[in-house]
Amino acid sequence: MTKFNENRVDVVLAITIGAGNLIFEGTVANISAHGFKVIGLPLRFDPQEKNIQTIIATHQGNFRLKVQVRWLIVTNQTLEVGFEIINHGDNWLQFIEGLEPQIPPLPGKLLPPAAFTINPSVYSGV
């Protein structure tokens, strides 16, 4: 499993993951149009599960995404997992476009959490 080299935006979003018959809670740490990283998953999460459904909670509502595992790291009794999005709803790309990085990331460098803004033309009432 390899990591994507796509520009990502650092976020802190709650996620619920349904993998087979089990439900897991975690935190989305960064996100892009085609994938995201989740931190804090328990070690019992099975990355080989073929049917993985997620719900990401945002200020724009909940996004239901079908995903597959792309990479996995064990860190201090939890898992850090990179997911590729297989199927997303209509508003997903609009949501991602609203997270505009102010500066392009350098290879191997993470943007600080304050390095993105909400595009007011995408979000009404923010």
Residue 111 inside a domain? The answer is yes
Residue 108 inside a domain? The answer is yes
Q: Give the per-residue pLDDT at 2.
A: 46
Q: Give the per-residue pLDDT at 8.
A: 83
- What's the structural domain count of the chain? 1
Between these two residues, 90 and 35, which has the higher pLDDT value?
35
Binned at pLDDT 50, 70 and 90, residue 103 comes out as very low
Amino acid occupying residue 119: N
Binned at pLDDT 50, 70 and 90, residue 79 comes out as very high
Binned at pLDDT 50, 70 and 90, residue 6 comes out as low
Residue 87 inside a domain? The answer is yes
Q: Give the per-residue pLDDT at 18.
A: 96
CATH number at residue 72: 2.40.10.220
pLDDT in tens, 16-31: 999 989 999 999 999 9
Amino acid occupying residue 66: K
Which domain range does residue 23 map to? 9-118
- Alpha carbon 43 to chain centroid distance? 18
Q: Give the per-residue pLDDT at 91.
A: 87
Q: Give the per-residue pLDDT at 21.
A: 92
101: tokens are 């990085």
**CB-based contacts of 23: which residues, under 8 Å, 6+ apart?**
16, 17
Residue 70 inside a domain? The answer is yes
β-bridge mates for residue 41, sequence order: 79
